[in-house]
Structure 1
Amino acid sequence: MIVLVVDGYNIIGAWDELQRLKEIDMAQARDRLIEWMAEYQAYSGHRVIIVFDAYYVKGLASKLEAFKVEIIYTKEKETADECIEKLVTKLKNVQNQVYVATSDYAEQSTIFSRGALRKPARELYIELKNMEREIKENIQNHKKIQPQSKIALDEDVLEKFEKWRRGDI
């Protein structure tokens, strides 16, 4: 199984859209990252874990799940890097290949020495955008191959039939 561990605040700081959201509202930036990673997980089939350190969210450590993505908030005195290093040690084995998404060079070196592979923030962003493009193309291709009526009908009639088919009328 492939496991992607994401350094949450590092990625937020590295991606322009999330950086702009962070300046307005950190919670929105976190939520948007979680949504994107949920889409990534659903499309790729990889397990995704996002780690946020206690710098922005004070209090006890917590672990929760949103959109089937595991989210970890570290303890107040624990950094995301420390938590990620523990996760890599715990998760890396013959059955799991662990990737860590971060642009922190020191963290990349540390996790690489523990057997994980690095995925720079830019590479993850490009992968995410390519995935979104593929999904749009698949939707367009699916629309093209949908059965067409053999009888030429006006758009409003087709729309009414579609509503009947869906039970909306």
Structure 2
Amino acid sequence: MRRQDVLLVDGYNMIGAWPELERLKELGLEEARDRLLELLADYQGFTGMQVIVIFDAHRVPGHGATYKQFNLTVIYTREKETADEVVERLVGELKQRGRNIYVATSDMAEQHIAFGKGALRLSARELLIELGQNRKELEQRLKSDEAVPPRRNPLDDKLSLDVRTRLERLRRGGKPDA
């Protein structure tokens, strides 16, 4: 069984490369970061890939941070550490676990290093196109689902009234024999 594929994203590289995020950055970097994370969370949900977003904080004093937001792993690098260094380290660690690793960045040097370590590269433009295609496919699925009438639970017809009543009580938090 193949382990879950991983997408490593150079966050500030995407913000600088995607027109929507570049405009949001003018309002504030936090807005652009949040929007990027929203878009990538949708992508993760649609593709099933694990997405890790790395933000470069090498000029900011501190120990760095890793946390979950929108079910994504978000990493801020430590002082004097670049996002590229974290990406390289993660590619090495994750590749040993038998996963396909994708690195999303338009930094050509970083693409070559990641490719040399066994990762697959994805430019900011390619990722943006893929996000758009996924969104269109999801919208089409939702539209086709709306055209199909909701199905009844097939077990419902096979259960006695007594069993259905007990299950309904359990579902609502009560005792089955109450």
TM-score band, normalised by shorter chain: 0.7 to 0.9
In the alignment, what sits opposite 1:105?
108
Which structure's CA Rg is the greater one?
Answer: 2
- Relative to structure 1, the CA distance from residue 57 to residue 139 in structure 2 (aligned partners, 3 Å threshold; closer, same or farther) is farther
Cα displacement (A) at 1:68: 1.2
2:24, 2:60 → 1: CA distance?
17
- Following TM superposition, the consecutive aligned residue runs of length 4 or more in structure 1 with deviations greater than 4 angstroms are 55-58
**1:143 aligns to 2:151 (yes or no):** no
**1:130 aligns to 2:133 (yes or no):** yes
- Relative to structure 1, the CA distance from residue 72 to residue 144 in structure 2 (aligned partners, 3 Å threshold; closer, same or farther) is same
Cα displacement (A) at 1:67: 1.5
Percent identity, please.
Answer: 50
Preserved CA contact (<8 Å) 2:55 2:83 = yes
Q: Which amino acid aligns with 2:118?
A: G
Q: Which amino acid aligns with 1:144?
A: A
In the alignment, what sits opposite 2:89?
86
The partner residue of 2:50 within 23, 47, 54 is 47
Segments of structure 1 that go 5 or more residues without pairing to the other structure are: 148-169
1:27, 1:61 → 2: CA distance?
17
In the alignment, what sits opposite 1:33?
36
The one-character-per-residue Cα deviations of 1:81-140 (angstroms, maximum 9, x if unpaired) are 011101101111362010000000000001111110101111100100001001111111
Segments of structure 2 that go 5 or more residues without pairing to the other structure are: 151-178
Aligned length: 147
1:113, 1:48 → 2: CA distance?
21
TM-score norm. by structure 2 comes to 0.79
The partner residue of 2:67 within 56, 60, 64 is 64
1:128, 1:95 → 2: CA distance?
25
Measured on the aligned residues, the alpha-carbon RMSD in Å equals 1.4
TM-score norm. by structure 1 comes to 0.83
